[in-house]
Chain A
Amino acid sequence: MTFTITQQPNSANLYLYPNGSSATDLTAFGETENYECVDDIWHTSNDDTDYVYSSASSTVSDWYTLEDHTTETGTINYVQITSKVRSVDAALSSSATYKLIIDDTSSTSLSDSFTDINTTYSIKSNVWTTKPSGGAWTWTDIDNLKAGILHSSASSEGDNISSSFLPTANGDLNQFTRTLGTGAHWELVDDPIDSPDTNTRIWPNHDDDNEYELFQVANHDPAIHAGTISKIRVYFRLTHDTGDTAQLAGTVRVGSTTDTGTYYSGGVYPAWETKYEEWVTNPDTSSAWTWSDIDSLQIGVRTGNVGVNDTCAFTQVYLIVYHTKIFPEIRTTQCYAVVNYDPPASTVTLNTPMTLSASHSRKIGRVTFPDGSYEVDDYGRAGKSLKITGHETSSAAANMQKLKDMCHYGEKVTIAGLPDSNHNTDYMIRNFSYKQAGGMVDRYIWSLDLEED
């Protein structure tokens, strides 16, 4: 005598990540291969740690090969390509394009262009219910799938577009005596704007009066930065822990002029404060800043009169240029495919249970009133469970695997063929356990704890 347990799982998702670069126009950052920059698993992207990027106004694209499916079977409902993207320094204008692309070896298909890409990362996705060459998806198509991104930047214009430039080398003067951390002076203060590292810093000795720490910054990229420059700011992050005399001032060196602004003392250690000095015009020419000026200037700080017991350190310095036109960099940190499919119904046939026990309980409550009367009410089902145990002597391991899969999918199961037909109905699997009986032979004792659906 046997009985059966059948389950029709709901649709499931298979995530496929890039495992190779098929064709690339974009530049990799943080990893050697482009596909390695975008292969983060769907729920844990590493954002600016590694990514692919371009600010080209021409159309550029990256194609990635994807992992193959393994044991999945069933009907494929759709394939979705998803990416995580942001622009840098300014939102993309409506003239820019950003599309997701897919290829099944016979044909290529593009999504519509996404228009809402700004400086914060966002998820973009597109669903293909049929394959690009037409017709229903097959698992062979999935194994041949390539996915990618295609985009073109376009100029964004505004009054106050800001572009940042970090130190890239020491400048003409690096005169402060004391440092914390290893490397050249510029390497101690070149932290990304949003993540200053106070474990590296530079500070003057008490006799370092009126001395400079100057740094070169990256040149502007004509493919990105354009328009009229309205002003520049030199930002520096500082602290003091002995004395509170203002000691450090933002400084810019351009042409034959080195100009210094207001002196600050910063926060009281371990607190840090970020200050800046602003120049609307080039102090060397008294004219508006040009991009050539930006490429040649140096930024930094200068000391005032450092007291014997004063300590005032800085940990970060960078330049912000305010201008009117930019071709924003488009930065993609994640790209993957989601295959949504309906797994086939699964049926396992087992020997009629050795034991069967049923338990039905309800929430019966008794309410007593002040006059001594009372009321008994039924507040609903507390549980209606069926526990069955049995043993299998043929195809036991395969049948146990099927039951494990049913537990994994979590959908209801339907039982048929039990002698007490009242139990032949739908259940949720609360617990399934099994153990081997008789040494290494294909023989298992199993136990199923079911809650009636």
Chain B
Amino acid sequence: MTYTITTNTTSVTLSTPALLDHTITEKISNNLFPDGTDEQTDMGKSSDVLKFSGLITSDVYASAASINTMMDDKEIVTITGLPDSNLNTDYMIKSFNYKTQGGTVSMYSYDISLERMRDRL
């Protein structure tokens, strides 16, 4: 199973993430009035972050380089192919970390953090 990260100019196909974490944070304000009553207001979403991690086992160096380039170019990326299709939408990459696995063997473990660009309709 794979999923794909695509921009207008390039795409990277990776193995389906081993771990996936989705966090939505809302700006909730608590207003306290002089009569002692209070009111809670949702001021909107402050972040909608998708994090996943996994292994890169093929085209290792090129795949990592492509994601770095997407970030350097400030590109909006489109995710497709995730099992939860609700997550297949547009994002900006907040961070991308990877490290070697098994000494000098050509395999990277990685984690990626994405900020969602559009709400699901």
Q: Do A and B share a complex?
A: yes
**For the complex, is A43 an interface residue (Cβ under 8 Å from B)?**
no
| With A361-B94, A422-B64: A355-B100 Cβ-Cβ less than 8 Å | yes
| With A355-B100, A357-B99, A422-B68: A362-B44 Cβ-Cβ less than 8 Å | no
Which of the residues A358, A372, A381 comes within 8 Å of B99, measured between beta carbons? Answer: A358
1/0 per residue, CB under 8 A from A, across B60-104: the answer is 110011011001101000000000000000001111111110011
**For the complex, is B32 an interface residue (Cβ under 8 Å from A)?**
no
Name A's interface SS.
Answer: strand
Which of the residues A353, A364, A384, A420 comes within 8 Å of B94, measured between beta carbons? Answer: A364
| Contact between chains at B98 and A357 (CB < 8 Å) | yes
User: Which residues of the partner chain B approach A362 to less than 8 Å between Cβ atoms?
Assistant: 71, 74, 92-95
| Contact between chains at B97 and A422 (CB < 8 Å) | no
User: Which residues of the partner chain A approach B115 to less than 8 Å between Cβ atoms?
Assistant: 364, 366, 376
**For the complex, is A378 an interface residue (Cβ under 8 Å from B)?**
yes
| Contact between chains at B68 and A421 (CB < 8 Å) | no
The smallest beta-carbon distance between B73 and chain A, in angstroms, is 10
| With A376-B115, A422-B65: A366-B95 Cβ-Cβ less than 8 Å | no
User: Which residues of the partner chain B approach A437 to less than 8 Å between Cβ atoms?
Assistant: none
A interface vs B, CB < 8 Å? 1, 352-362, 364, 366, 368, 372, 374, 376, 378, 381-382, 384, 387, 419-422
User: Which residues of the partner chain B approach A382 to less than 8 Å between Cβ atoms?
Assistant: 95
| With A358-B98, A420-B61, A422-B61: A352-B46 Cβ-Cβ less than 8 Å | no
Residue of A nearest to B93 (CB): A362
The smallest beta-carbon distance between A350 and chain B, in angstroms, is 13
| Contact between chains at A356 and B93 (CB < 8 Å) | no
| Contact between chains at A360 and B104 (CB < 8 Å) | no
User: Which residues of the partner chain B approach A366 to less than 8 Å between Cβ atoms?
Assistant: 45-48, 115
B interface vs A, CB < 8 Å? 27, 43-48, 60-61, 64-65, 67-68, 71-72, 74, 92-100, 103-104, 106, 113, 115-117
The smallest beta-carbon distance between B24 and chain A, in angstroms, is 11
The smallest beta-carbon distance between A376 and chain B, in angstroms, is 5
User: Which residues of the partner chain A approach B47 to less than 8 Å between Cβ atoms?
Assistant: 366
Most buried by A among B64, B92, B100: B100
CA distance A354 to B102 in the complex (A): 9
Residue of A nearest to B91 (CB): A376
User: Which residues of the partner chain A approach B104 to less than 8 Å between Cβ atoms?
Assistant: 1, 352-354, 419
| Contact between chains at B97 and A378 (CB < 8 Å) | no
Residue of A nearest to B92 (CB): A364
| Contact between chains at A360 and B61 (CB < 8 Å) | no
The 4 A-B pairs with the shortest beta carbon distances in the complex, nearest first, are: A357-B99, A368-B44, A361-B95, A422-B65
CA distance A335 to B74 in the complex (A): 54
CA distance A382 to B65 in the complex (A): 17
CA distance A364 to B117 in the complex (A): 11
| Contact between chains at A421 and B61 (CB < 8 Å) | yes
| Contact between chains at A368 and B27 (CB < 8 Å) | yes
| Contact between chains at A374 and B45 (CB < 8 Å) | yes
| Contact between chains at B96 and A360 (CB < 8 Å) | yes
| Contact between chains at B95 and A359 (CB < 8 Å) | yes
The smallest beta-carbon distance between A220 and chain B, in angstroms, is 76
Residue of A nearest to B94 (CB): A364
The smallest beta-carbon distance between A161 and chain B, in angstroms, is 69
User: Which residues of the partner chain B approach A361 to less than 8 Å between Cβ atoms?
Assistant: 94-97, 113
| Contact between chains at A357 and B65 (CB < 8 Å) | no
| Contact between chains at B97 and A419 (CB < 8 Å) | no
User: Which residues of the partner chain B approach A360 to less than 8 Å between Cβ atoms?
Assistant: 67-68, 71, 95-97
25 examples of A-B residue contacts, CB within 8 angstroms: A355-B100, A355-B103, A357-B97, A357-B99, A357-B100, A358-B99, A359-B96, A359-B97, A360-B68, A361-B94, A361-B95, A361-B97, A361-B113, A366-B45, A366-B46, A366-B47, A366-B48, A366-B115, A368-B43, A376-B92, A376-B115, A378-B74, A378-B92, A381-B72, A420-B61
